[in-house]
Structure 1
Amino acid sequence: AFLMDEPLSNLDARLRLTMRGEIKRLCQRLSATTIYVTHDQVEALTMADLVAVMHGGELQQMAPPIDIYDRPANRFVATFVGNPPMNILPAALGEQGVMVGSKIVPLERTRLTACRLAEVVEIGLRPEDCSAAQPGEPGALPGEIYVVEPMGNETLVNVRLEGGNVSVRAGRDFRGAVGESIGVAFDPANACFFNAVGLTAVHRVNSNGREK
C-alpha cells in the first residue's frame, strides 16, 4: 500500500496535470491500494475510486467521485466540491413548490412532499445546471450580471439574485455586460434541497425520474 501526502502541491499547473495521470496509471498497473491526501478536489475526483471528504477532523462523506458530486451528503460537501461550487439560495415551502426570491419553483408532488417532511430551507444548483435567460422569461429568476469571466471554451457569469449571488456556466459566445438585467433558468429536477442543519434532504433527479 502507498500513502501520498499532497505529492503534487509544489508543481506548476502543467506538470501537475501530467503527473496526475502518471500516478493514476501507475497505481492501476500495480493494483496497489493507495491513500492519497490532497486539498485539490480535481485530483481527488479524477484519481480516486473512493473519495473521503473531511472537515474539522470529521468525515463528512465517503463515496465514489460521481456520488460526491451529484449526491453530496450535506451543504459543506456540496459547496466544497465543484469549481465553481454549488449555488445555495434560501428557499421557502409553498403550496405548489418552493419560493426562491419572488419566484415559485414548481416541484413534482413526491419531491414537494419530501421537502415538506424534511423542512427544507435552502436550494442547491450546480452552475452547469443553470442557464442564462432573457429578463422576465417565465420561470427564470430575475437578476443582474455581477461579473463576467470569459474562459475560452465557456463563460462564467456571476449573477446577483434576491437571495444571493449564483454562478452560471454560459456559452463562449455570451455577450452580456456587468449591470445588465438577466434571467437564470434551471430545471427543478436538477436541484438539491437542504434542511436547517445543512443535511441534504432531497437529491437531484436522474433521467429515469428517480433521485440520483
Structure 2
Amino acid sequence: MIHDFGIVWTERGLLLSGLANTTILSVLAGVAALLLGFALTPALMSKYRPVAWAARCFVDSMRCVPFLLFAYIVYYGFPSFGVRLDNWTSGLVALTIYNAAYMAEILRGAWMAQPREPVEAGIAFGFSDIKLFRRIILPPLLLAAGPVIGNQVIQIIKDSAFLTIIALPELTHAASSIQSRHYVPFAAFITAVFLYWGLCLLIEAGVGGIGRAADVRR
C-alpha cells in the first residue's frame, strides 16, 4: 500500500495540474453562474407571467436534469446545431448554465426574505433603481445568501468530477489516468478525495467568514 502511494507521489505533477484545472474551472463557473443567477432572479419574480414562466421553466428543467446528462448534451449535442466547443469550454458552459438555476433560486429566496423597510426608505430618499439595488438591496442580500452560495460552489466542485467523461483534464481525470497506467486505484482515488476535501475546506472557511460578517451586521 505504501508503495502504491509512492507511485502516486511520483505523479504529483499530474494531480496538481488536475487540481489547478478543477479550481480554475470551479471559480469561473461559480462566478459566471452567480452573475447569470442575478440576471434570472428578477425574471423569476417578474409580474409579467410570460417572463416569470420562462424563467421558472429554465430553473426547473436544470434542477430536474442530472448534471452528467446535461454535460453530455453540451459536449455531444450542441455540435448538432453547429455549436462546437472544446472539452474545457464545454465543461465551463455546462457547469455555468446548470448551476445558474440553483443560484437564481437561492437569490430569489434571500431576496424575498429581506425586510421591505430599507428599500422603502431608499425609494423615499430618491435612490435610482441601480443605486437602490447596489446600496440597499445587494449588500444584505449577499450576506444572507452567502453561506448557501458557498454550499453551491462546493456542489460545483463536486459536479466538475463528472467532466472526466469528456476528457477534461481535471482532478478526477488525473487520478483515473494514474490508476489506469499504474493499477493503483485506491491510492490514486483516495488522494484525489483528500485534494477535493482540502479545496472544499477552503470554501467552507470563506463561508464561515461571510456568516460571521452577517452576524456582526445583524
> TM-score scaled to structure 2, two decimals?
0.25
Structure that is richer in helix per residue:
2
Q: Which has the larger radius of gyration?
A: 2
- TM-score when scaled to structure 1? 0.26
